[in-house]
A = this chain, B = another copy of it.
Amino acid sequence: MKIADNRARHSTLAAICCRRTANSGRAAATQRERHEADARSQNANQKCTCAPATWSSTRIHRAPVTMPGIMAATTAVPLEETLVIVGVGLIGGSIAAAARRRGLARQIIGVGRNPERLEQARQAGFLDAVVTDPATAGPNAFIVFCTPVNHIAAAVERILPRLPAGAIITDAGSTKRRMCEALADWAGRDPTFLGSHPIAGSEKQGFEHADPELFAGRTCVITPLSGHRPADITRVRRFWAGLGMTVVSLSPAEHDQALASTSHVPHVVAAALADSLSESDRRLTGTGFASTTRIAAGDPDLWTAILCENAGPVADGLLRLQARLGDFERALRAGDVPALKSLLQTAKTKRDALDG
């Protein structure tokens, strides 16, 4: 286990408030939850009077000096003692940055396969520490897998048996059915796994493009199974809500069916359009082409994995889309103006109903 502690580098005083000490156990969890709810309803500047002996009421939480614009929130006791981000890229980095800004965790630990990149993320202030094995991150860890979606289930399966009680694993993967089926035996156990998909992202890669507001105002789907304990569902739900997200609960299959339409098929379409562009026509593209193909710049490895994990619903969606494009094609060849206009009007009405 390698821990490079970043706390010594912190110098900006961001908040003085009630904190749970690092060595307190799971036994205080219920009291802690009450405490957190109380603390959030209080004025943050008032000194909390309900802290038990295992809580330090004078612990100083410092935000890192090197991360511009990311400061610990000053209004609430953190939801989590330790947030562990496995895979500190654009999504993992954004979760770390958002959690830091909102004060959701007392410490944020990064896990990754590239020690050099992890160390850069730590030095940039995203992480307090880095470890090579998430099972060593300490008690009650809230672990978020942000690795490519096709590697999550196997990695979680390896780690869960070695985690202490009180730990929970969730993820940020774009597909849910296969993963949740593979890990279904862990539903309702302690530690456990419960799937998540915060619907936010970018075609860019790397924590350098991380955005602490990436999740604000967006939707996160969580996919609890019937066996999951309500407290675990609440814990995962609260975390994403804490990042400013609207949390929606779906079955893993419902999630994958919907995301095929709203994300995976659009990605394929953007790629097919980008692919159709000849070099000589490049100068003849406008903002419409740029917008329609923007997501085609996404990482081909990541997207191959996502599409393969959800192959059936995506292939079915592509078949339906080909049929729809065939409707347009036939209307054009027939010069059927009313049919064309009706197709475009329906599309506009649906698009106008979307924000952004």
- Using CB atoms and an 8 Å cutoff, list the residues of chain A in contact with chain B: 199-202, 218-219, 221, 246, 248, 258-259, 261-263, 265-301, 303-304, 307-308, 311, 314-315, 317-322, 324-326, 328-329, 332-333, 335, 337, 340-341, 343-348, 350-356
Contacts and interface: CB of A to CB of B under 8 A. Distances in A.
Given A272-B321, A274-B347, A274-B351, A285 B262 contact: yes
A317 B333 CA distance: 12
Nearest to A292: B266
Contacts of A267: 288
B266 A289 contact: yes
Nearest to A281: B258
A151 to B, nearest CB: 14
Contacts of A295: 288, 291-292
Contact of A286 (B262, B296, B324): B262
A274 B347 CA distance: 5
What number of copies of this chain does the assembly contain? 2
Given A268-B325, A271-B348, A321-B325, 20 more contacts: A201-B288, A258-B280, A262-B277, A263-B285, A263-B286, A265-B276, A266-B292, A269-B325, A270-B292, A272-B324, A274-B351, A288-B295, A291-B295, A292-B293, A293-B351, A300-B345, A314-B332, A318-B328, A319-B329, A322-B325
B284 A221 contact: yes
13 contacts: A218-B286, A248-B284, A261-B277, A262-B277, A262-B284, A262-B286, A263-B289, A265-B273, A270-B292, A276-B317, A307-B340, A308-B340, A318-B326
Contacts of A275: 324, 343, 346-347, 350
Contacts of A311: 332-333, 335
A356 to B, nearest CB: 5
A284 B259 contact: yes
A285 B344 contact: no
A304 B287 CA distance: 19
B297 A352 contact: yes
B297 A348 contact: yes
